[in-house]
Amino acid sequence: MSRTQQTLPRSTWLLLIALTVGWGLNWPIMKIALAEVPVWTFRGLSVAAGAVGLFFVAAASRVRLLPPSDQWGRLSVSSLFNVTLWNVFIGYGLTLLPAGRSVILAYVMPLWVVLLSYFVLGEPMTRRRILGVALGMAGMGLLLLNEWATLQAAPIGALLVLGAAASWAIGTVLIKRYPTSLPTTSFTAWQLLVGGIPIVIGALLFERHRWHAVSWQANAAVIYNMTIAFVFCYWAWFKIISRAAAGVSALGTLMIPVLGIFSSMVLLGERPSWAEYAAMVLVFAAIATVVIPPRRPAG
């Protein structure tokens, strides 16, 4: 296996940092929005804005917009997992759990991606990758153990967030198993559009009677999601997937839950304990396994 396959290419490092900040900060921001905006409506606004924004960027860049006719099926199925199920499950899960606990559960995703990549994509289960998963999941396990009482009090919320993590993992592996010959910008736009249609329909069917004026904080949270979390972060994530192995890409996201916990502390008053700090050290070690290149063989 090449060194590139075992680690994240340097061309993705800045993207990963920006993605970590964008999605990490978004966990408490989503919580702020969902306190006033119904789930389907909030996610529908976000995916619609993300699709429109990315189609505009793709058109301005003069890249190919339409996928080949024989690739609509694979694009639709992957968008169902990456966008529809992820956004609905995580939206409802956040209404039942604190943001810090939700982000911990959501980021068991790398474990599922590494396992699915081994069985579906044939990506080797190297010692480095096993070490990365072990370190990352040890960090997540510390956090879960510390919050076990909270999760027991809201089991449905926990199951929804775990379902979102599984959905995201399946979508990630499907993109690698059945690639679409589109540039990242237009591919991401189609993912959001196709995956967002059921969400927008759900908002119109289930929540029109609940639409009302909201505070400036909720408005700001919705705008952040429409621009940063969906236009930029979704594009960055799919760009990283296109350049690196699925398991390596997933392990690279493990700093997002740590940032999510600490940003929840600042924005929502949630307080981290010793477990959060210990988990941060383990997660940094896990990320190092996919960032630091292996040594070249001697001779």
pLDDT above 80 (res 287): no
How far are the Cα atoms of 26, 31, 35, 38 from residue 222, in angstroms, in the given order?
10, 10, 11, 11
Question: pLDDT band at 215, cuts 50/70/90?
Answer: very high
- DSSP-derived letter for residue 228 is I
Most confident segment among 120-134, 152-166, 226-240, 246-260: 226-240
User: CB–CB of 140/196 below 8 Å?
Assistant: no
Question: pLDDT band at 63, cuts 50/70/90?
Answer: very high
State residue 72's pLDDT score. 95
pLDDT above 80 (res 223): yes
Q: What is the mean pLDDT of residues 281-292?
A: 73
State residue 126's pLDDT score. 81
State residue 107's pLDDT score. 77
Q: What is the mean pLDDT of residues 250-262?
A: 81
Question: pLDDT band at 236, cuts 50/70/90?
Answer: very high
User: CB–CB of 24/259 below 8 Å?
Assistant: yes
Q: What is the mean pLDDT of residues 164-172?
A: 93
Q: Residue 109: which of 49, 169, 26, 160 has the closest Cα?
A: 169
pTM: 0.84
Lowest mean pLDDT, pick from 118-122, 175-179, 239-243, 249-253? 249-253
pLDDT above 70 (res 44): yes
Helix, strand, or coil here: 64? coil
Average pLDDT, the chain: 86
Can you list the alpha helix ranges (DSSP code H) found in the chain?
3-6, 13-34, 39-61, 72-79, 86-96, 99-106, 109-116, 127-146, 148-153, 155-177, 184-206, 216-224, 233-243, 246-251, 255-268, 274-291
Helix axes 233-243, 13-34, angle to 10 degrees: 140
Three-state secondary structure readout of 244-268? CCHHHHHHCCCHHHHHHHHHHHHHH
Question: Higher-confidence residue: 69 or 141?
Answer: 69
